[in-house]
């Protein structure tokens, strides 16, 4: 064992000893709490938001410090027996782990995204209870939901079911019953996202290593480690980490099927490609675009093996068939989602207060033609600009360079062409489906699988350019540091990163307090009650009662209409998000007028938030 290896082993043993001493010191003196407060205060300038997150953050800091430091120690101890490539790969993984642990700690174990985060917890809870992928609330007015009036769960018409089944399986695996403890429910939900997010590293490394070689593979996972659009989702209860992982696996397996020389090997990879392609679709509907692009390439790559194409198509169809049939039976259309109706409305938020357009004939008119054309053109511009800012200009330049320079027969050329095809299909689908440009501004979430399958091509372009221009190692290091600085200078280009600083979580304490009260008073709010609220997703998981979205146009007449439609028994008043550019002096009196018109008097009040609560709520019985 040479001197450098001896030093690594000694450092690893020293780090293990330091972990034990630090753990003992924290147990005895609690040093982590003041240290965390000192560091956190350098970042948080919204003290109320920090107060909401702090209790769970302290728990997360202790766990991740222990896990991360232990992983680093074992890496150092094992490094003498590892190849240089393995040492670098594990070092990059540790960097990625640290960034993702920071993202989880930053958001705490509190839902980060209004509606979305709680939705995934709700549907996973339903699956765990044996009800299937159903929800127990009205969140959209595009459709009527008779099952809610019958106190039944309604088949999820917002997201595909794979995420719910994965989270439900994890709940069962770790022995947590979702809903019994809200803290445990959220913690396991976030831990699931975190682990799945980390699994993208070996998946992307395997794809890149097999098709391009070691240098490109290491560069690929290095880009993945620092890419905000992927890292942030390790701290969210969202399906994006699962969507990214299944997309990488779908691309890897189909490419291996193309290149397998032996019949049995090709058959095995085709089986795997069919399974992974179907799972990618069940992770998100956008997987259909990925499968379409893969199919177009397969027609060229496997044109002399038509049976393999048929087998791949058949397996994909077999995997997605149960969900296609379920949505067909419930909504009359395979893979139906009410988000499909956004295509016919210039404002996607219309479904939060009225039905909006639900047919093409209502939207595609000559009167709307100029605005439709403008929106489509602007969507293309946003895709180009936002994509460049999300992945970074060096990434985009390296990708274009590789696409232009690679030749037929060159290692990885098949992945290059496939990733470009996937991107083109995604852009075409976006332009076709988008009528509200504010949705395009959220493309970091929707294009995440595209960006990840483009990473190996960009990495190959970077490696080639470094070799061609004979850039020395020191310059490469500075270029890498500059790239990381560009990515993290404003990670909110990825949109969902903005939730770390938005004040949405300030609504959570009052909503949770109301939910706890409802659970403790079933005589006042029975299990078959239907509660109308501004946040039906959050109140569903907090109270375990069916909920109905309060129409978000603040119209008393519309609120009464929806209350009658669904037989609402209680109204949770408050926790509103005021419209932009509203006069604060008239806003409060207007809300009081709406409440009075609805007959929500003090005599009907059952509960109100504790004094000093932010975004306080009041619970009224209406029937």
pLDDT digits (tens, 9 = 90+) for 75-133: 999 988 989 999 999 999 999 999 999 999 999 998 889 999 999 999 999 999 999 99
Alpha helices (runs of H) in 79-181, residue ranges in sequence order: 84-107, 116-128, 146-149, 162-174
Long-range contacts of 424-433, Cβ-Cβ distance < 8 Å, separation of 24 or more: 424/293, 425/289, 425/290, 425/292, 425/293, 425/296, 426/286, 426/289, 426/450, 427/380, 427/383, 429/286, 429/289, 430/379, 430/383, 431/376, 431/379, 431/380, 432/343, 433/340, 433/342, 433/343
Residue 94 has a pLDDT of 96
Identify the three-state secondary structure at position 532: strand
Contacts with 467 (C-beta within 8 Å, 6 or more apart), sequence order: none
Query: Which residue in 165, 132, 158, 125 sits closest to 549, CA to CA?
Result: 158
Residue 417 has a pLDDT of 92
Query: Could you give the CA distance from residue 530 to residue 562 in angstroms, rounded to a whole number?
Result: 12
Torsion, Cα of 358, 324, 432, 158 (10° steps): 60
For the chain, which residues score pLDDT lower than 50? none
Residue 95 has a pLDDT of 96
Residue 39 has a pLDDT of 84
Residue 1 has a pLDDT of 56
615: its two tokens: 């975004």
Residue 46 has a pLDDT of 61
User: Directed axis angle between helix 536-543 and helix 508-520, to 10°?
Assistant: 40
* Per-residue CA distances from 162 to 156, 158, 232, 283, 315 (Å): 12, 13, 21, 5, 16
Residue 510 has a pLDDT of 94
Q: Which residues share a beta bridge with 608? A: 618
Residue 376 has a pLDDT of 92
Burial 115-154 (b: 16+ CB within 10 A, else e): bbbbbbbbbbbbbbeeeebbbbbbbbbbbebebbeeeebb
Residue 142 has a pLDDT of 94
pLDDT digits (tens, 9 = 90+) for 282-300: 999 989 999 999 888 888 7
**For the chain, how are helix, strand and coil distributed in percent, rounded to 5?**
70, 5, 25
Q: Give residue limits of the domains in the chain.
A: 3-81, 213-499, 503-621
Query: Which residue in 569, 621, 585 sits closest to 600, CA to CA?
Result: 621
Residue 45 has a pLDDT of 60
Identify the three-state secondary structure at position 599: coil
Considering only the C-alpha atoms of the chain, give the largest distance between any 2 of them, rounded to a whole number of Å. Answer: 82
342: its two tokens: 């956004």
Are the C-beta atoms of residues 418 and 297 closer than 8 Å to each other?
yes
Identify the three-state secondary structure at position 438: helix
């Amino acid at each position: 064992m040479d001197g450098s290896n001896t030093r690594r082993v000694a450092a690893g043993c020293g780090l293990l000893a330091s972990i034990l001493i630090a753990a003992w010191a924290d147990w005895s003196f609690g040093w982590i709490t003041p240290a965390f407060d000192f560091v956190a205060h350098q970042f948080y300038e919204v003290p109320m938001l920090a107060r909401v997150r702090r209790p769970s953050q302290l728990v997360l800091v202790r766990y991740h410090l222990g896990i991360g430091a232990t992983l680093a120690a074992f890496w150092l101890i094992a490094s003498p027996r590892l190849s240089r490539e393995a040492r670098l790969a594990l070092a990059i993984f540790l960097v990625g782990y640290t960034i993702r642990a920071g993202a989880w700690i930053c958001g705490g174990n509190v839902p980060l995204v209004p509606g979305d985060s709680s939705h995934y917890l709700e549907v996973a809870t339903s699956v765990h209870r044996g009800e299937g992928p159903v929800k127990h609330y009205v969140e959209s007015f595009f459709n009527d939901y008779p099952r809610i009036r019958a106190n039944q769960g309604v088949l999820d018409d917002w997201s595909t079911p794979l995420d719910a089944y994965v989270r439900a399986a994890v709940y069962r695996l770790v022995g947590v019953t979702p809903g019994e403890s809200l803290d445990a429910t959220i913690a396991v939900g976030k831990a699931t996202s975190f682990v799945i997010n980390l699994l993208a590293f070996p998946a992307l490394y395997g794809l890149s290593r097999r098709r391009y070689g070691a240098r490109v593979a290491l560069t690929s996972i290095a880009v993945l480690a620092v890419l905000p659009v992927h890292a942030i989702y390790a701290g969210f209860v969202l399906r994006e980490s699962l969507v990214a992982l299944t997309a990488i696996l779908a691309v890897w397996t189909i490419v291996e099927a193309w290149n397998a020389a032996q019949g049995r090997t090709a058959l095995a990879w085709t089986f795997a490609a069919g399974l992974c392609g179907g799972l990618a679709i069940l992770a998100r509907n956008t997987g259909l675009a990925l499968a379409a692009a893969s199919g177009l390439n397969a027609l060229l790559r496997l044109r002399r093996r038509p049976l393999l194409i048929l087998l791949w198509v058949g397996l994909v169809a077999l995997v997605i068939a149960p969900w296609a049939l379920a949505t067909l039976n419930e909504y009359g259309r395979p893979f139906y989602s009410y988000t499909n109706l956004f295509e016919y409305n210039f404002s996607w938020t219309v479904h939060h207060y009225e039905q909006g357009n639900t047919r093409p004939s209502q939207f595609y008119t000559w009167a709307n033609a100029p605005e439709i054309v403008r929106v489509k053109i602007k969507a293309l511009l946003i895709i180009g600009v936002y994509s460049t800012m999300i992945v970074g200009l060096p990434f985009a330049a390296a990708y274009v360079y590789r696409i232009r320079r690679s030749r037929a027969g060159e290692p990885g050329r098949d992945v290059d062409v496939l990733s470009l095809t996937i991107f083109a299909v995604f852009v075409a689908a976006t332009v076709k489906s988008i009528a509200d440009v504010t949705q395009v501004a959220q493309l970091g979430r929707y294009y995440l699988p595209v960006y990840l399958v483009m990473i190996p091509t960009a990495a190959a372009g970077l490696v080639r350019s470094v070799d061609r221009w004979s850039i020395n190692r020191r310059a490469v290091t500075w270029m890498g540091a500059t790239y990381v600085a560009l990515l993290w200078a404003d990670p909110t280009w990825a949109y969902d990163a903005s939730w770390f600083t938005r004040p949405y979580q300030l609504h959570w304490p009052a909503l949770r307090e109301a939910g706890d009260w409802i659970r403790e008073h079933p005589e006042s709010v029975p299990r078959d009650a239907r509660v109308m609220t501004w946040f039906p997703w959050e109140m569903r998981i907090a109270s375990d009662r069916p909920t109905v979205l309060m129409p978000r146009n603040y119209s008393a007449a519309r609120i009464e209409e929806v209350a009658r439609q669904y037989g609402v028994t209680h109204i949770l008043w408050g926790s509103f998000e005021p419209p932009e550019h509203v006069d604060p002096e008239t806003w409060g009196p207007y809300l009081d007028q709406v409440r009075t018109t609805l007959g929500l008097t003090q005599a009907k009040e059952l509960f109100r938030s504790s004094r000093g609560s932010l975004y306080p709520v009041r619970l009224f019985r209406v029937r």
